[in-house]
A and B are shown apart, each in its own frame.
Chain A
Amino acid sequence: MQKKSGERKEFLTVSGRKLLDSYTPDNLPENQYEDQIGLPGQFPYTRGVHTDMYRGKLWTMRQFSGYGTALETNRRQKFLLEQGQTGLSVAFDLPTLMGLDSDHESAAGEVGKCGVAVDSLEDMEVLFQGIPLDQVSVSMTINAPAAMLMAMYLVLAEKQGCQVSRLSGTLQNDILKEYIAQKEWIYPPEPSMSLVTDVIEFCTHHLPRYNPISISGYHIREAGSTAAQELAFTLRDGIEYVEWCLDRGLNVDDFAPRLSFFFNSHNDFFEEIAKFRAARRIWAHLMRDRFKAKDERSWKCRFHTQTAGCSLTSQQPFTNVVRTTIQALAGVLGGTNSLHTNSLDEALALPTEEAAQLALRTQQIIAHESGVTNTVDPLGGSYFVETLTNELEKDTHQYIEDIDAMGGMIRAIQEGFPQQEIHEASYQYQKAIEAGEQTIVGVNDFVVETESPIETLQIGEEVQAEQVQRLRDLRTRRSEKGVKSALSALQKAARNKQNVMPFLISATREYATLGEMCDTLREVYGTYQETAW
């Protein structure tokens, strides 16, 4: 019934990389240990950014979560904290990701569906009620309107009585991967990059413990890229951000230590581990050699990992627990600093409370039962893992060179280069699955005829009605004059190419809505339309 592995002619990773029968010292260059591996916590950090890694501190268990209203999401976040989660991560709904208020006509049907709806500071107040922002690190997955949500977060922290300089957490704020893969944009690339840089500049001066950007490969991989493409496009995006910050007049060692990254952990166990190790090594060299950073903290690629949503199956959904466990283990063996594990029901809907709890438990079992945290980089020195790490590094450098030759990532995006590379890889992967060359358990092999459906989370249409009503009430309560004047100051600042952060903060204090702030800048920056590649 099933094919046996002995019948396979060649052995490939999930990204199509050819593998040998076995690996030996002959596969490694001379001085591999001295030049490329070394000790954990030392340049080039192949083995981890810290000397003691998980012996000193476990990774942050940070489940991406959000749905419906701010109140519902607040309850889910508190539930996860009670269950032993160690950091928060907020998922916003599509209207919020697109900088639209819940009463915008395009928001119809979308409010609260794939994340929480946030229209103004008022929603943020509810979202974090009873959660002191100076005591828990919060990650916000928001990009095109990242600056606006950051402004709301800062005003809320102030209102909670927190010292802004003590805030820790992460703002995704990575617009390049939106054009490449995730596709939630508002403005054209240049003004968007300027907004990203405004946030980094502002945080560099005022929030020394906060990561103002999370340069993300996750979505690139979800869109269908190979492991090497994920790594290469992410790190090349990183180069672009560094260049923009330098052009802004920032000193590399003032901002680079707070640049953070976000990778996917897909099915191919060893290739993923190698990818994480290669990421650290390549970034360390880029920062030290290409950008002449002197501070060791600037060389360290710290990253969050999420298991691969695109690998989950709607068939036999409990098998997803197993996939997620393997992927999470790869993240941990790859030295991730923070981890999200997907829930078993996510090929069907947003997770139920039970599914989210089990996903968190998966991390806790790896952390506290498996023993893999007891020594640092246990796979370091494996002929196979080190060879794969070298290969991924080589492929990444090739892509970086190609994109440099195109004139940088914005030019490459405008030419559709990363988009087309990813589409081609995703199509080849789909063909491999359909030809049975790539087995997906429960999908193209080991299939069962009838399956009993599992319960999924339902998000009702009433969320939108509630948000629309809240917006209506807010608009009657706040000072329209105050809002208008704050927005006009914001627009003037944008036209004068000033850093807009202080102006967004003022507008937030007046309870200007997300849509109003974004519209104000739409009038200055224009909007982006993709050529359908």
Chain B
Amino acid sequence: MQKKFRILVAKPGLDGHDRGAKIVARALRDAGMEVIYTGLRQTPEQIVSAAVQEDVDAVGLSILSGAHLHLFSKVMELFREQDIDDILVFGGGIIPDEDISKLKKLGVAAVFQPGSTTDEIVQFLREALGGQS
């Protein structure tokens, strides 16, 4: 049997909007993935360390506070500092179009704006992580 994908769903920063993160976490579980949800108010350090300890394949960050550029940069920087390049980082939230290219330049694999379906996220992860979960 193939290994199940392990995904960390994280809420960085001070933002308390967790509706989307919890829906995504549940939908990924329903799609057969193993999901660890961090809960609210995680620092980039806590998120990166949880990703390493939990040996996840991907980290999804949910940010609706407008602090996405700062928080994604921090997370990407910490992964780079630790020479970790096999954990996929994706995200979603209230993120305007003009910031998406900036986030992609930082190495964020995909950004899901409002209106995205959980199915799109599942498909994206399956394709990006390769194989079937």
Out of A95, A183, A348, A442, name the residue touching B94 (CB < 8 Å).
A348
For the complex, what is the distance from the CA of A107 to the CA of B22, rounded to whole Å? 24
- Which B residues lie within 8 Å of A443 (CB)? 115
Q: Which of B13, B43, B94, B95 has the most CB of A within 10 A?
A: B94
In the complex, the answer to whether A183 meets B115 with C-beta atoms within 8 Å is: no
Contact partner of A456 among B14, B15, B98, CB < 8 A? B98
Known: A313-B114, A427-B26, A453-B97. A183 touches B66 (CB 8 A): no
Point out the residue from A95, A100, A426, A444 that lies within 8 Å of B23, measured CB to CB.
A426
Q: Does A367 contact B (CB under 8 A)?
A: no
Q: Mark B93-129, 1 if CB is under 8 A from A, else 0.
A: 0111110000000000000011101110000000000
Minimum Cβ distance to chain A for residue B69 (Å): 7
| Min C-beta distance of A323 to chain B, whole Å | 13
Is B43's CB under 8 angstroms from A348's CB? no
Instruction: Compute how far the CA of A108 lies from the CA of B15 in the bound complex, rounded to whole angstroms.
Output: 12
Closest to A106 in B: B14
Question: Given the complex, which residues of B lie within 8 Å of A310, measured CB to CB?
Answer: 19
Do the beta carbons of A94 and B23 come within 8 Å of each other?
no
- Residue A516 at the B interface, CB < 8 A? no
Chain A min CB distance to B103 (Å): 13
Check: A461 CB closer than 8 A to any chain B CB: yes
Beta-carbon contacts of B12-45 to A below 8 Å, as 1s and 0s? 0111111100110011000000000111110100
Please give the distance in Å from B122's CB to the nearest CB on chain A.
11
> Can you list, as one digit per residue, whether each of A295-317 has a CB less than 8 Å from chain B (1) or not (0)?
00000000000000010111100
B98 touches A453 (CB 8 A): yes
Q: Does A182 contact B (CB under 8 A)?
A: yes
B71 contacts A by Cβ under 8 Å? yes
B40 touches A530 (CB 8 A): yes
Residue in A98, A109, A178, A312 whose beta carbon sits within 8 Å of that of B67 in the complex? A109
Tell me if B49 counts as interface (CB < 8 A to partner A).
no
Q: Is B132's CB within 8 Å of the partner chain A?
A: no
Q: Decide yes or no whether B4 CB sits under 8 A from chain A.
A: no
- Nearest A residue (CB) for B115: A443
Query: Which chain A positions have C-beta within 8 A of B15?
Result: 94, 114
B16 and A110 contacting across the interface, CB-CB below 8 Å: no
Question: Are the C-beta atoms of A183 and B40 separated by less than 8 Å?
Answer: yes
- Please indicate the chain B residues that have their CB under 8 angstroms from the CB of A434 in the complex: 117-119
CA A476 to CA B26, docked complex, whole Å: 50
B13 touches A110 (CB 8 A): yes
Q: How many residue pairs, one in A and one in B, have C-beta atoms under 8 Å apart? A: 102
**Partner of A426 from B14, B19, B38, B117 at Cβ < 8 Å:** B19
Question: Are A113 and B67 CB-contacts (below 8 A) given A347-B114, A453-B97?
Answer: yes
The residue of chain A having its C-beta at the shortest distance from the C-beta of B41 within the complex is: A106
A530 and B70 form a contact (CB under 8 A): no
For the complex, give the distance between the alpha carbons of A482 and B38 in Å.
Answer: 41
Q: Mark B32-69, 1 if CB is under 8 A from A, else 0.
A: 00000111110100000000000000000000011101
Q: Is the CB of A315 within 8 A of B115?
A: yes
Given contacts A427-B26, A456-B98, A532-B39, contact A314 B65 (CB under 8 A): no
- Taken together as a complex, chains A and B put the C-alpha atoms of A348 and B18 apart, in Å, by 17
- Identify the closest chain B residue to A349 (Cβ): B96
Rounded to whole angstroms, the CA-CA distance of A224 and B19 in the bound complex is 7
Contact string against B for A residues 98-139, beta-carbon threshold 8 Å, 1 for contact and 0 otherwise: 101000001111100110000000000000000000000000
State which of A114, A314, A459 has its C-beta within 8 Å of the C-beta of B115.
Answer: A314
Q: How far is A459 from B69 in the complex, measured between Cα atoms in Å?
A: 11
- Among candidates A182, A423, A444, A461, residue contacting B70 with C-beta atoms closer than 8 Å: A461
Known: A108-B70, A313-B115, A347-B94. A183 touches B16 (CB 8 A): yes
Q: What 1/0 mask marks residues of chain A from 518 to 533 whose CB sits below 8 Å from any chain B CB?
A: 0000000000001010
- B: residues with CB less than 8 A from A are 13-19, 22-23, 26-27, 37-41, 43, 65-67, 69-71, 74, 94-98, 113-115, 117-119
12 chain-A/chain-B pairs, Cβ below 8 angstroms: A100-B14, A106-B14, A109-B13, A110-B67, A183-B16, A223-B19, A347-B115, A349-B94, A426-B19, A426-B23, A430-B118, A459-B66
